[in-house]
Structure 1
Amino acid sequence: MLPELTLARGLSSWRTDPVALAAVGVLGGLYTAGVVRRTRSGQGWPALRTAAFFVLGLGMIVVATMSSLAVYDRVLFWPAAVQNILLDLLAPLGLALGDPLGLAAPDGPLHAAMTSRPVRLLTFPLVSTVLVLASELTIYFTPYFATSLANDPVRQLMHAQLLLTGCLFVLPMLTRQELLPRWCTHPVRAGLVFFDGLFDSVPGIVVMTSGTLVAGHWYTTHPRTWGPSVEQDQMLGGGLMLTLAELVALPFLIAVFIQWWHAERARTAELDAHLDHELTPAPAPSPATPATPLPEQPQDRVRPWWETDEGEVGHRMRRGRAQNRR
């Protein structure tokens, strides 16, 4: 029997998970190779993105699968609940902030796979939201979770499922527009992230208030002489799930607003440069050139920016003008 979980043991108890360690090594190696390749090409890569990928993304995978949460998840329910939330919500957020797709070559296999029809269907906002919610509820209210406590391969599968379903929603929201429908603009993304935060609280509320014990047979047949009762343990786990889900939703929403701000700044700079180019006067004729009478031409006029803009705003302005002429 494991000793009582105290703060000191919570910080010092660790175990090695070979599968998770191999996955972290592969992901970290591929990301490092992408950063090195981009740096050598002279483009550079933001250090904050690298830190987010390794510390918040891969770091949370390590904490969830190898820290005291993994040591005590077969003895207490609440460490397993926290472990699953880290893999489902926080680790995908860190991986997405690292923008791994930005390191992929535009004509490479990773980019082709991420923009394929099956992946675009799975990353469709409403589909990915339902997948995240269904994944968590299926884990806690079917024999899935109880089986994972006694079976390591099933446990590894559950962890991979949580990480994958979380990434299906988070990655498109914080990376490339081509992974999302055209209507999913930054304001729409902010609304989707807000409502997703509400949906993410549902599993925690259900677990906390449920009269049915999650994996109750396992925890009652593995009694402890310390810590909360099985019922209190489940209430604590559900409360932590709810709290962590809401805490993760805030930085997620802030990240979407920051991307929205950067996108608007880039668009404004592009429009300003376009207007400056149109308003630049034509160079005067050289004095050495003999004056040659030319047929009278109409005076040049400066066309409105929306007549030549290829963006969504330009298209809407032209459609509106055409409808007014009818």
Structure 2
Amino acid sequence: MTRALQSPVVASLATQWAVQPLAIAAVLVAAAWYLRAVRRLAAEDSAGGRWPVRRSVLFGAGLALLVWTTCGFAQAYASTLYWVWTAQALALFLLVPFVLLSGQPLQLARTQSGRDGLVDRLLRSRAGRLLSNPLVGPALVPLLSGVLFFGPLAGWAIAFPVLGWALQLVLVAVGGLILLPLIGLGDEPSSLAVGLTLAIGSFELVLDAIPGIALRMHTSLATSYFDYRSARSWSPGPLHDQRIAGAILWCVSEIIDLPFLLIVFRRWLRADARDAAAIDAVLDAERIARSSLHDHGGQAAQADVPWWLTDPTMRDRLRRGR
């Protein structure tokens, strides 16, 4: 297939394929586990609490996207065009994990293992809490972009195919860990936590563009990829190829952040409404409890007043200040 590789056209998106054994094995294992877990959940819960079909469809779409990204057009041209290798890495790092996690595989695993099972213990561990921190993911994205697109890693992935195959699966796993706080696990975060995530994501919108701008504007080769690539008569020059890759990295890093920010903003609104309802319920319960402490013919229940008017220390200070 490599000898017959022609200049890429639109039809190549469907006609060019290459075998990636590690990805195929991972997809088969993941699909078998997910299907077995869903069937077991349906068999155990006879009350009708079935796993939502929408989640299964999303997880299946994620696996199909993983197969196409690792065995289709991108894999066929990754060793020839640096911009294709860059686009493939971005898809594996950002798009594929997002679609897979939308199918809630970790939530399914938590359902199977129980509340105190292995999955919950891992999520409550120090490493799990660290990765779920909204400050960690944004800090890792520029760092990983620098490692991927600047230096020798791209060249090694082309020179040693097994290393490149393993790197693709590592990108999916790392991307999933970074996106996990955004997708969520069915837990209900506070509005403060979601608001912090939104603020950090807004800052990351600017920060993520730096690697793409640097790669696009670089006047010399910034990676060893071109020492190992299979150049063709139709291949662009190395510097031009690198600048195309930089433009893709720049555009994707800006465009893909916007849907994520919208998702976080929507979660923030829901979390704020949920927190407000919980606070109102507590205040109503306190008001009812205070009313019940007084006899109907006795002293009236104390009205709601600011806390500084009922706190003895603050009340004395206010009196002395008059």
Instruction: Provide the TM-score with structure 1 as the length reference.
Output: 0.77
Contact 1:74 1:149 in 2 (8 A): yes
Written as runs of structure 1 = structure 2, the 5 A alignment for 1:23-34 is 23-34=26-37
* C-alpha deviation, 1:86, in angstroms: 0.6
SS at match of 1:234: helix
Q: Which amino acid aligns with 2:31?
A: G
% identical equivalent positions: 28
Residue 155 of structure 2 corresponds to 146
**CA distance in structure 1 between the partners assigned to 2:150 and 2:26 by the alignment:** 28
Residue 309 of structure 1 corresponds to none
**CA distance in structure 2 between the partners assigned to 1:188 and 1:142 by the alignment:** 33
Residue 312 of structure 1 corresponds to none
Q: Deviations over 1:140-191 (max 9, x none)?
A: 22211101101122112322332233222210122149798x7961111111
User: Residue 241 of structure 1 is aligned with which of 231, 242, 249?
Assistant: 249
Relative to structure 1, the CA distance from residue 72 to residue 249 in structure 2 (aligned partners, 3 Å threshold; closer, same or farther) is same
Q: Kindly tell me the number of residue pairs found equivalent between the two proteins.
A: 298
User: Residue 21 of structure 1 is aligned with which of 19, 24, 27?
Assistant: 24
Residue 261 of structure 1 corresponds to 269
**CA distance in structure 2 between the partners assigned to 1:321 and 1:25 by the alignment:** 65
**CA distance in structure 1 between the partners assigned to 2:310 and 2:103 by the alignment:** 42
Contact 1:135 1:162 in 2 (8 A): no
| 1:5 and 2:8 are equivalent in the alignment | yes
| 1:157 and 2:160 are equivalent in the alignment | no
Contact 1:278 1:302 in 2 (8 A): no
| 1:129 and 2:138 are equivalent in the alignment | yes
**CA distance in structure 2 between the partners assigned to 1:321 and 1:160 by the alignment:** 60
Relative to structure 1, the CA distance from residue 204 to residue 135 in structure 2 (aligned partners, 3 Å threshold; closer, same or farther) is same
**CA distance in structure 1 between the partners assigned to 2:268 and 2:163 by the alignment:** 40
User: Residue 95 of structure 1 is aligned with which of 91, 96, 100?
Assistant: 100
Residue 57 of structure 2 corresponds to 51
**CA distance in structure 2 between the partners assigned to 1:35 and 1:302 by the alignment:** 55
**CA distance in structure 1 between the partners assigned to 2:272 and 2:297 by the alignment:** 39
**CA distance in structure 2 between the partners assigned to 1:138 and 1:320 by the alignment:** 58
Q: Deviations over 1:238-287 (max 9, x none)?
A: 11122222222122112212222333444455556667777889xxxxxx
* C-alpha deviation, 1:115, in angstroms: 1.8
Contact 1:194 1:253 in 2 (8 A): yes
Structure 1 window deviating more from structure 2 (234-243 vs 193-202): it is 193-202
| 1:81 and 2:81 are equivalent in the alignment | no
* C-alpha deviation, 1:16, in angstroms: 2.6
User: Residue 206 of structure 1 is aligned with which of 205, 214, 235?
Assistant: 214
| 1:218 and 2:221 are equivalent in the alignment | no
Contact 2:78 2:84 in 1 (8 A): yes
SS at match of 2:216: helix
Residue 110 of structure 1 corresponds to 119
* C-alpha deviation, 1:20, in angstroms: 0.9
**CA distance in structure 2 between the partners assigned to 1:179 and 1:274 by the alignment:** 18
**CA distance in structure 1 between the partners assigned to 2:302 and 2:32 by the alignment:** 53
**CA distance in structure 1 between the partners assigned to 2:309 and 2:155 by the alignment:** 60
**CA distance in structure 1 between the partners assigned to 2:132 and 2:309 by the alignment:** 33
* C-alpha deviation, 1:302, in angstroms: 8.9
**CA distance in structure 2 between the partners assigned to 1:75 and 1:320 by the alignment:** 74
Q: Which amino acid aligns with 2:55?
A: R
